[in-house]
């Protein structure tokens, strides 16, 4: 006989009520775990995405830096173009380790996704693109046969969606062009997976943007020189320089207000759960007033009663914590899907990252919740006078 088994048996007496209260705690814990998992996952995914861009700086046409940031990561609309002269001008800079120009264009394809329609992102690149991204490997096929070849290399997902293999043709609507698939990249876990790549010059020609670029990616030999490098290009007309560190900070700032909102929801959920637990346990001790009196008569001290009621609350919260963690783990896919639909920018990769450490923290948190929520009902039960408790319940 121990206090945990007595408390557990008491909870079993009103099964539906106990299950509902545990469910309330579980939902609160699940919300909290999901949000904390999202916080961690989003930052890690974003950092991973930015690191995998391969460059520390991007030169784009002057415009809204947020737009530029989105464009870099996702290839969003509202693209601005700059002259390719800037690439020719800076490529010889001795501070630069690697540099690559790119021209991005999005084309609406009404036949995409079995007739649902959707945008396809095309990116004109040159071979130095691969130097900046040494992890990019070919799944099949090879690099373009020439700088003006009417060929494409498809990102892994783009090839899957379009169901194309090396040697197949791909039709570009709007410009009415048929290109040949010469290669398919392996999955990289970045936005590159969804892009259709083609030679820069071919892109400039078929999209009627001769000598235009959307961006120039730069990796410096020494990251410390970012400041001086940016300064030198500051007066260059029509362009702006964005560092990836800034982009990361900007995006994290953009979602921080959303995070405040969601965290508030989590706090409210926990608050409601605590009230629910206190209410349930109080109701239960009022119903058991006579029983508590009898326990005192047969030898229970105030502390015995306090510990018993406290243990019931802690059990409810612990079971809620375990159930909530399981809910969060099993529902993380769904949460991720919803977040990706709602967020203005969702990096690729796992957005809701629930690690064992987080589950442990959630479980301990639930126990602490029980310890706090249990104090008042336990005190109420412990301070009942035996004779009054016995006679009240008669």
Partner 1 sequence: MGELIVKAEKLTKVYKLSAEEIAAVNNVDLEISSGEFVSIMGPSGSGKTTLLDMVGCLDSITSGQLEILGNDVSKMKESRLVNIRRRKIGFIFQDFSLIPSLTALENIQLTLYFAGIQKKPKESIRLLEKVSLAHRVNHLPKQLSGGEKQRVAIARALATEPKFLLADEPTGHLDIENSQEILSIFKQLNEEGLTIIMATHNQKLGLQAKRIIYLVDGRIVENNK
- How far apart are CB 8 and partner 1 at their closest, in Å? 9
The yes or no reply on residue 1 touching partner 1 (CB under 8 A) is yes
From the list 226, 300, 309, 322, which residue makes contact with partner 1 (rule: CB under 8 A)? 300
Region binding partner 1 by CB under 8 A among candidate stretches 50-58, 242-250, 321-329, 383-391:
383-391
- How far apart are CB 23 and partner 1 at their closest, in Å? 21
Q: Give the C-alpha separation, 100 to 129, whole Å.
A: 6
The yes or no reply on residue 19 touching partner 1 (CB under 8 A) is no
Beta bridge partners of 101: 216
The yes or no reply on residue 280 touching partner 1 (CB under 8 A) is no
Judge whether 71 and 60 are in contact, CB under 8 Å: yes
From the list 295, 314, 328, 335, which residue makes contact with partner 1 (rule: CB under 8 A)? 295
Residue with Cβ nearer partner 1 (219 or 290): 290
Instruction: Label residue 181 left, alpha or beta by phi (over 0 means left) and psi (-120 to 50 means alpha).
Output: beta
From the list 291, 345, 349, 392, which residue makes contact with partner 1 (rule: CB under 8 A)? 291
Q: Give the C-alpha separation, 311 to 130, whole Å.
A: 61
The yes or no reply on residue 16 touching partner 1 (CB under 8 A) is no
Residue with Cβ nearer partner 1 (193 or 312): 312
Residue with Cβ nearer partner 1 (299 or 356): 299
Q: Which residues contact 118 (CB under 8 A, 6 or more apart)?
A: 108, 109, 112
Region binding partner 1 by CB under 8 A among candidate stretches 106-114, 167-175, 234-242, 295-303:
295-303
Judge whether 99 and 219 are in contact, CB under 8 Å: yes
The yes or no reply on residue 287 touching partner 1 (CB under 8 A) is no
Region binding partner 1 by CB under 8 A among candidate stretches 9-17, 140-148, 161-169, 338-346:
9-17
Q: Which residues contact 338 (CB under 8 A, 6 or more apart)?
A: none
The yes or no reply on residue 371 touching partner 1 (CB under 8 A) is no
Site size toward partner 1, by CB under 8 A:
24
From the list 149, 272, 302, 329, which residue makes contact with partner 1 (rule: CB under 8 A)? 302
From the list 145, 264, 301, 330, which residue makes contact with partner 1 (rule: CB under 8 A)? 301
The owner of tokens 């909102």 is 261
Region binding partner 1 by CB under 8 A among candidate stretches 106-114, 156-164, 191-199, 385-393:
385-393
Task: Calculate the CA 234 to chain-centre distance.
Answer: 34
When computed from its CA atoms, the radius of gyration of the chain, rounded to whole angstroms, is: 31
Helices 244-287, 289-297: axis angle to 10 degrees equals 70
Beta bridge partners of 169: 180
Computed from CA positions of residues 192, 196, 201, 205, in that sequence, does the dihedral angle turn out positive or negative? Answer: negative
The yes or no reply on residue 282 touching partner 1 (CB under 8 A) is no
Q: How many CB atoms lie within 10 A of CB 172?
A: 19
Residue with Cβ nearer partner 1 (1 or 260): 1
Computed from CA positions of residues 298, 303, 309, 315, in that sequence, does the dihedral angle turn out positive or negative? Answer: negative
The two structure tokens encoding residue 75: 């290839």
Residue with Cβ nearer partner 1 (366 or 384): 384
- How far apart are CB 281 and partner 1 at their closest, in Å? 15
Region binding partner 1 by CB under 8 A among candidate stretches 3-11, 148-156, 215-223, 329-337:
3-11
- How far apart are CB 347 and partner 1 at their closest, in Å? 52
Nearest to 191 by CA among 121, 251, 135: 121
Q: Give the C-alpha separation, 59 to 68, whole Å.
A: 9
| Binding residues vs partner 1 (CB under 8 A) | 1-2, 6, 9-10, 12-13, 290-291, 294-302, 304, 385-387, 390, 394
């Amino acid at each position: 006989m121990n206090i945990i088994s007595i408390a557990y048996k008491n909870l079993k007496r009103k099964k539906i009520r106990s299950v509902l209260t545990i469910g309330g705690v579980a939902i609160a814990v699940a919300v909290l775990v999901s949000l904390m998992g999202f916080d961690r996952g989003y930052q890690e995914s974003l950092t991973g995405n930015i690191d995998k861009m391969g460059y520390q700086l991007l030169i784009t046409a002057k415009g809204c830096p947020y737009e530029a940031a989105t464009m870099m990561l996702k290839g969003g609309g509202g693209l601005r173009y700059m002259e390719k002269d800037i690439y020719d001008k800076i490529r010889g800079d001795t501070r630069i380790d690697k540099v690559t120009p790119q021209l991005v264009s999005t084309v609406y394809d009404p036949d995409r996704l079995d007739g649902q329609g959707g945008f396809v992102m095309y990116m004109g690149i040159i071979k130095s693109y691969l130097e900046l991204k040494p992890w990019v490997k070919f799944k099949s096929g090879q690099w373009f046969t020439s700088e003006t070849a009417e060929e494409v290399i498809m990102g892994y997902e783009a090839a899957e969606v379009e169901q194309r293999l090396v040697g197949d043709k791909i039709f570009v609507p709007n410009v009415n062009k048929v290109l040949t698939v010469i290669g398919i990249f392996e999955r990289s876990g970045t936005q590159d997976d969804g892009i259709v790549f083609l030679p820069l010059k071919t892109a400039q020609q078929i999209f009627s943007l001769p000598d235009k670029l959307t961006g120039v990616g730069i990796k410096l030999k020494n990251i410390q020189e970012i400041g001086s490098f940016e300064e030198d290009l500051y007066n260059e007309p029509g362009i702006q320089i964005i560092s990836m560190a800034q982009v990361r900070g900007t995006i994290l700032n953009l979602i921080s207000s959303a995070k405040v909102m969601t965290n508030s929801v989590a706090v409210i959920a926990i608050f409601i759960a605590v009230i629910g637990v206190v209410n349930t346990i109080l109701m239960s001790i009022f119903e058991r007033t006579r029983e508590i009196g009898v326990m005192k008569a047969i030898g229970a001290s105030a502390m015995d009663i306090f510990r018993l009621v406290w243990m019931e609350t802690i059990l409810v919260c612990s079971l809620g914590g375990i159930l909530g963690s399981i809910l969060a783990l099993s529902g993380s896919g769904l949460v991720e899907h919803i977040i990706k639909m709602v967020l203005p920018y969702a990096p690729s990769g796992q957005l809701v990252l629930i690690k064992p450490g987080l589950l442990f923290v959630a479980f301990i948190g639930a126990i602490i919740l029980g310890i706090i929520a249990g104090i008042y009902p336990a005190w109420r039960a412990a301070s009942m006078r035996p004779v009054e408790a016995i006679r009240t319940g008669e």
